[in-house]
Structure formats: C-alpha cells, structure tokens
Structure 1
C-alpha cells in the first residue's frame, strides 16, 4: 500500500532531497513539496496525504502553528516533525500541538523512513536524543510530585500495586510484608495525598503524574 506524503521545508536542497529520497523508495509517493506553510490548509485539503513531513523554522509562519490546521482537516493525518531543533521548548510545543513524531535532521535519512513507517502503524517515533529528553522530563516531574507529597520508595511501590487493582492482602503478599504493615502504608499514603480511599488515591496519582 502506497504512503502518500506532503513535505513542508524551506531549505530548497533539503526539500528536493527528501522528495527524491521518498519518491525513489518503494511504497512512497510525494504529492507535493512546499517551501512554507502559509497555505497549509488548502494544500492538505487538495492532497489529503497520509503523512506530512514538517519543518519547524520556516518564513512567515512556523511549522508548530501549522500542526492544528493539518489535524483540523483530518485528525488521522500523521505529522512527523523533521527539524534541527532539539531544545525542550520546541519539542514539547510540537507534541502538545499534535505532532505524531519528532525526528532530528542530524540523524540518518533512514530514521525518517522508519519514522514514517512507525506512524503508519500507529506509533509515535522520536529520535533517540529526543526520546531521552521526554523521558527525563517525565522523571523530573515524577520526582517533584513524590517530593511534594513526601512519599517513600516503599509507598510508591504500594501505589504501583494499588493502580494494578491489588487489595491490601495481595499488596502484602507481593511485597512480602505483613497485612497490618500493608494497611499502615496505605493509611500513610491516604494521609499524605489528602484522600480517603484507594479510588481517590489512584485519581490523584494520575492527575499529579506521581508514577510513570
């Protein structure tokens, strides 16, 4: 099955190289390659691609601004950012705007091809350096949340099992602790999280992103 693509890239050499690479690859068809995103909605409505390859830094309007416009036409269109930027701000703005993948230009063209295949399978491809940034960000937020509620490592273990639906007895068995100890941990957790039961605790865990 042929994957239909549209490219938005202001660098003529990069844009032409990408179009050639993809058109020469089996199973790809470039419907159009454009130097800016000023007419992005009209372009997408005309071509209705499966995947959009999108640069960030472009004249007059940046690629991040164009993402919601693409998704408005059809939410099923996959958007892969192909950019030189690896700073946190542009990365997270792109992902929050609805980008499905984020690939750095300094990586090999093969990674872009792999990213296209991955989004077609429903994945969310990230360059290794970008994936590390995302993971580190979540870990930082997780540590901050733990510190905010002063949770111990053991209490976090108990919470992880609580999320999986374990009862007080099963938590005790899994962690090889006494039933009363398990119950005591839960009481302490409820007190620290300012909740009254397990359901409220789980809701707060998800809201505060205490556990990945």
Structure 2
C-alpha cells in the first residue's frame, strides 16, 4: 500500500485527487492539506511514501515546503504537481530534491502510474517538462574533465537513471539484484556528492558524465 500525502490549495482539485487516489487499489491518502506551513510535523505524523506537492500555495509555496522536507528527510518521494512549466520552477524543484515534476493536466490513470513509479524509485516527469530539463542541462557549462571516478558499471546505472528507469527496471535490465542496484546508486551518490536521483541526473547532464 502506497501512502500518499497531498498538498493542494484548490479544494475541488484536492478532493478530486483524494477520491481518485484513495479509491484506487494499492493507494491510501493518509491526509491532505491546503498549505504546507506545518509540513515538518505532518511528515512525522503521517510518514507517507509519496507527497504530491502543489507549488503556488498561500503562506508557504511548494518549493519552500520541499526544502523543509529535505532538511529532515531524504527518503520520502516528492512529486511536484503544478500548472507551472517554466524553467525557474522546474530547476528549483529538481535542485532542491524533487523526485518528479508533473503538470495538473496529467490524466488520472497516468497520475496513478507516476505515483507508483516514483514510489518504486523512478523519476517521472510530464513529457514537455522532461524535454525542458534535457535542454536546460545540456546548455549548462560542464566540467568534462571531472569523471568522478565512476566505474563502467556505475556509469551504466547512471545512464539508466537518466532514462527514467526505476530500481526494479535497472535490476531487470542489468540482470542484477535490486540490493546490488541500491549499492551501485549509493556509491554513485557518494562520488557525485548528491543526495537524490534528481540531483544525480542533473549532475550527469551538467558535467556530461553520460
């Protein structure tokens, strides 16, 4: 059962998301709120697997909420669900540890698929956002000489992460156990000095590691 916590200030959308997710097999909405000002205590109370986070909310926006989450928890998966598809919001969300970035026009069935994917270690993005991200990072100046001493196996895992593969999919593709995948990813994070998949993908593009 994937436990989902929702932050969305539009009451109709919040109720619609709750009904959709809670009414689908394998998902449970533990709580939903119209702002994230108390996100630290709510995170500790509900212990969700996945957080659906709007960006434009009163009192504290979703990017600030994301920063608060990452100060105390690196494991919980955070999916930004927003109307904003501009570069600055996308970049800020990924830089601060978002695990995925979806637009609110995402079809319901696809949204459930994305939540399941991110819970399994994937990094789902609406296709138009993914295109932006690829373009954005390809234009950043890279440190091409710094290879971070990644092994060929680690580079292969990193490439699959960039391709949006979940841990389970990487294990299947490389014919290795999921624990082995986790071990490789832990070493990649240590070598790249990052704390999340989105940061690793960003650095892979920026420094042309793949």
Which SS does the other structure have where 2:118 is aligned? helix
Match of 1:189 in 2: none
Mapped contact 1:45–1:73 kept (Cα < 8 A): no
Contact kept in structure 2, 1:5 and 1:50, CA below 8 Å: yes
Q: Which has the higher contact order (CA 8 A, sep 6+)?
A: 2
| Aligned residue pairs, count | 159
Q: Is 1:209 aligned with 2:207?
A: yes
Per-residue deviation, residues 86-144 of structure 1 (Å, max 9, x unmatched): 00000010011111010101221222211111111111111100000011112223xx6
CA distance in 2 between partners of 1:64 and 1:32 (Å): 19
Q: Structure 2 CA distance, aligned partners of 1:87 and 1:28?
A: 30
Once the two structures are TM-superposed, the CA of residue 207 in structure 1 deviates from its matched residue by 10
Structure 1: any 5+ residue segments left out of the alignment?
Answer: 150-159, 166-205
Quote how far apart the aligned CAs of 1:68 are.
Answer: 2.4
Q: Counterpart of 2:45 in 1: which secondary structure?
A: helix
Compute the displacement of 1:210 (Å). 4.5
1:66 corresponds to which residue?
65
Question: How far apart, CA to CA, are the structure 2 residues paired with 1:80 and 1:45?
Answer: 18
Local SS of the residue matching 2:57: coil
- 8 Å contact kept, 1:44–1:73: no
Partner of 2:78: 79
* Contact 1:103 1:111 (8 Å CA) reproduced: no
**C-alpha distance in 2 between matches for 1:75 and 1:210:** 25
- Based on CA coordinates, which of the two structures has the bigger radius of gyration? 1
Distance in 1 between the 2:14 and 2:102 partners?
Answer: 15
Aligned 8 A contact 2:21 2:29 in 1: yes
Q: Distance in 1 between matches of 2:37 and 2:206?
A: 38
Aligned pairs (5 A) from 1:12-161:
12-141=11-140
The structural deviation recorded for 1:71 is 2.7
Q: Deviations over 1:157-198 (max 9, x none)?
A: xxx9xx988xxxxxxxxxxxxxxxxxxxxxxxxxxxxxxxxx
Cα offsets for 1:6-52 (capped at 9, x unmatched): 10000000000000001100011111010001111111111011110
For residues 63 and 142 of structure 2, what CA distance do their matches in structure 1 show? Answer: 29
- 1:211, CA displacement in angstroms? 5.6
Tell me, in whole angstroms, the C-alpha distance in 1 between the residues paired with 2:4 and 2:94: 20
Structure 1 residues 164 and 32: alpha-carbon distance in aligned structure 2, compared to 1, 3 A threshold: closer
Q: Which has the higher helix share?
A: 1
Alpha-carbon contact 2:8-2:14 (below 8 Å) kept: yes
Q: TM-score, normalised by structure 1?
A: 0.67
Residues of 2 paired with 1:145 and 1:48: CA distance?
Answer: 38
1:75–1:210 CA distance, 2 compared to 1 (3 A)? closer
Q: CA deviation at 1:66?
A: 0.7
- How has the CA–CA distance of structure 1 residues 99 and 207 changed in structure 2, closer, same or farther, with 3 Å as cutoff? closer
* Contact 2:82–2:104 (Cα < 8 Å) also in 1: yes
